[in-house]
Structures are given as C-alpha cells and as structure tokens.
Amino acid sequence: MNPAIRTHDLGKVYLEGFLMRRVEALRGLNIEVPEGVVFGFIGPNGAGKTTTIKILMGLHSSTSGQAWMLGQPAGTPESRRRVGFLPERPYFYSHLTARELLHFYGHLYQMGRDVRTDRIELLLEKVGMTRFADVKLSKYSKGMLQRVGLCQALLNDPDLLVLDEPMSGLDPLGRAMVRDLILEQRAEGKTVFFSSHILSDVQNICDTVAILVGGDLRGMGTVDELIGNQVKSIELVITGLQEPPADTDVIRTDRGEHRVRVQPERVDAVVAAIQGAGGSVVERLRIRADLETVLMGEMARNTDGVGGEVKP
C-alpha cells in the first residue's frame, strides 16, 4: 500500500531580493504519512511547513528531492484529483457567493451537476453556512471564509486532506468544528495532514507528529514517542517556611503551605535549600512534558536561526 504522502530528500532554496540571496527553507525532508492517520506538522514560523505543503500541492517547485501524494508525483494535476486542500488564510473570489464558488470548484473537479449540488448542500449544512450560501463572499467574516474553505477542501470527498493552519482565526466553536471534521475524516479511513500552531489540538487529535525547525526535520513519531519520559517541571508542596524559597515559581501560598514549580535540573538544590532552612517537602509532583515543551526544546537547539541561510 502506498503511503498517502512521501517525501524523499525534499529541499527548497529561495533566491531573495535584488542580490539573489540564497535562503534554504527546507533541507532534505524525508517523511512518510501512512493512509488513514491524522498527521500533524508543527514548527515555528519559517520552519518550512507551508513550503512543504506548497510543494506537495504544486504551487512551488522543489529545488531537490521528490514528493508523492497518493502514489502520484506531487505537482501533477493527477496527484491532486483525490486530494482536498485548505491554504492558510484562504482567499476566494469576492464577487461570488459561497454556493457559486463551490459550484465553480465542482466544475474544476469535473463533478456532474447532481453530484455537485448534493455534495455542496451537504457540506454547507455541515459547516453551518446554508443560511449565508447566497451572500457574496466580500461580506463574510474571517471565520465564515474558513468554513467555506473547509467546504471546498472536502468537495471531492478526498482521500487525503491537506490543511495549512486550519484553526487559525477561528473562535473556540470553530476550532471544535474543525477538530470534529478531522476526526470524522479519520473515522472514514481518510488521511489528514495538517500544520498548526495550536499544539494542544495537535496533541489531542494527531496519530503522528513531525517537528520541523529551520527547514530540518527534528523528530517524527506518535505524541508519546516524541514526549517520551521528558519532565517539563516539578511541583513541590513545602511546609515549615514563612516565605516560599527564592528562585522558584510560586503557584500559591495557603495557610503556611507553599506550592512552587521548579525546573527538573534544579530540584535537588532547591530541596536541599528548603531542608537547610528548616522546611520540609511534603509533596513532589512530576509534570509531564507536552508537545510545546518538545518544540521549545528543539527551537532552542536551532543554531541556524529561522530559515537556514547558506552562502552562494
């Protein structure tokens, strides 16, 4: 079985400005997204997430390496036939209504009139836009445009859904709707590949996550694999001291009991200082790392800065 997405040594160098300064946005990316999973693509701004997605969708060409979607070489019209795509901050023709726009996209998929109409009405209903379907898009809010964007991405009932920052600009209700849609796609056996800054969402719904920093792949695996046994911080509950120890983050002080947070590497020194001052630690809690901790750690390791730059 072909993976839904595969890249082999994928690289992209942009030539910026008048002097054609070389900026390496992506370096030898190798990822494999199996069919039927929700795959999260995370990283800071300029990490190369959108560049990767644009190469997959044929909007940019790669400088080196290759990519495939559903077994077809990326960039060919055939590779996009069973794929749905939602770009970051989608822009649509403001002279059209949502219904007209979706019919236009349906024509591009060469969908028959009846199939197209049924599908459009179903999707408009699903994202709660039926009421506004005949209003021109120039009058839509950002959240409404995002909903129409989801409709066009799902129009061809795709086997692979590629979403670039699908939760950005949405209110909590909208985010929940996107989350439900993604999980619904997975339940139907479809593959979802999406980039996001909202790490809690990625952590909650992704089967596999890839971390990209400065154009390099820094890690790929399940959330548990990526986080491993990492501890983010340790919470201590201290008694017997008038004031909480210095150099700790105080969470709260209540009836002579202080709850503080310390970095794992400093915990022994802090405990020794507490005991030395006559206090005692009555509770010690390990706070497990999350994706944010992992990503921050990877970003701290980034020595090239955002978007690697190489000399010509």
Partner 1 sequence: MSRVWALATNTFREAVRDKVLYSILLFTVGLIAVSLALQEVTVGDQDKVVRSVAQGAIDAMASIIAMFLGVSLVWKEVERKTIYTILSKPVSRWMFILGKYLGMVLTLAIEIAILMAVYTLCMVLQQEMPPSVVYVSAGMLLLELMLLTAWATLFSTYSSPMTAGAFTLAVFVIGHLADDLWYFGQQASSAALQHSSELIYWALPNFEVFSIREHAVHHLEVPWSQVWGAAGYGLLYTTAVLSLAMLIFSRRDLR
By the criterion CB under 8 A, which residues form the site for partner 1? 14, 54, 57-61, 77-78, 80-81, 83, 85, 87, 89-93, 95-96, 104-105, 107-110, 149, 152
* Length of the chain as a residue count: 312
Residues with Cβ within 8 Å of 303's Cβ and at least 6 positions away in sequence, in order, are none
Cβ–Cβ under 8 Å, residues 86 and 150: yes
Q: At what angle do helices 142-154 and 113-126 cross, to 10 degrees?
A: 140
**Which residue, 71, 65, 73, is CA-closest to 8?**
65
Q: How many CA atoms lie within 13 A of 75 on its CB side?
A: 10
What dihedral angle (degrees, nearest 10) is formed by the CA atoms of 170, 299, 161, 190?
-110
Q: Side by side, which strands form the sheet with 216-221?
A: 83-86, 160-164, 191-195, 38-42, 208-213, 216-221
Compute CA distances 80 → 75, 123, 234, 249, 300, whole Å.
8, 20, 48, 51, 36
**Nearest distance in Å: CB 59, partner 1:** 5
Which is closer to partner 1, CB of 92 or CB of 193?
Answer: 92
**Nearest distance in Å: CB 103, partner 1:** 9
**Nearest distance in Å: CB 150, partner 1:** 11
Which is closer to partner 1, CB of 92 or CB of 279?
Answer: 92
What are the two backbone dihedrals, phi and then psi, of residue 20, each rounded to the nearest 5 degrees? Answer: 55, 50
Which is closer to partner 1, CB of 104 or CB of 301?
Answer: 104
**Nearest distance in Å: CB 138, partner 1:** 10
How many Å apart are CA 27 and CA 11, to the nearest integer?
5
Which is closer to partner 1, CB of 72 or CB of 302?
Answer: 72
**Nearest distance in Å: CB 47, partner 1:** 17
Task: Name the E strands within the chain.
Answer: 5-16, 21-33, 38-42, 64-69, 72-73, 83-86, 160-164, 191-195, 208-213, 216-221, 231-239, 249-254, 257-262, 280-288
Which is closer to partner 1, CB of 77 or CB of 172?
Answer: 77
Which is closer to partner 1, CB of 88 or CB of 257?
Answer: 88
**Nearest distance in Å: CB 305, partner 1:** 21
**Nearest distance in Å: CB 218, partner 1:** 25
How many Å apart are CA 266 and CA 279, to the nearest integer?
17
Which is closer to partner 1, CB of 109 or CB of 132?
Answer: 109
Which is closer to partner 1, CB of 49 or CB of 232?
Answer: 49
**Nearest distance in Å: CB 84, partner 1:** 8
Which is closer to partner 1, CB of 58 or CB of 264?
Answer: 58
User: Which residue, chain included where needed, has tokens 């019919």?
Assistant: 103
**Nearest distance in Å: CB 202, partner 1:** 22
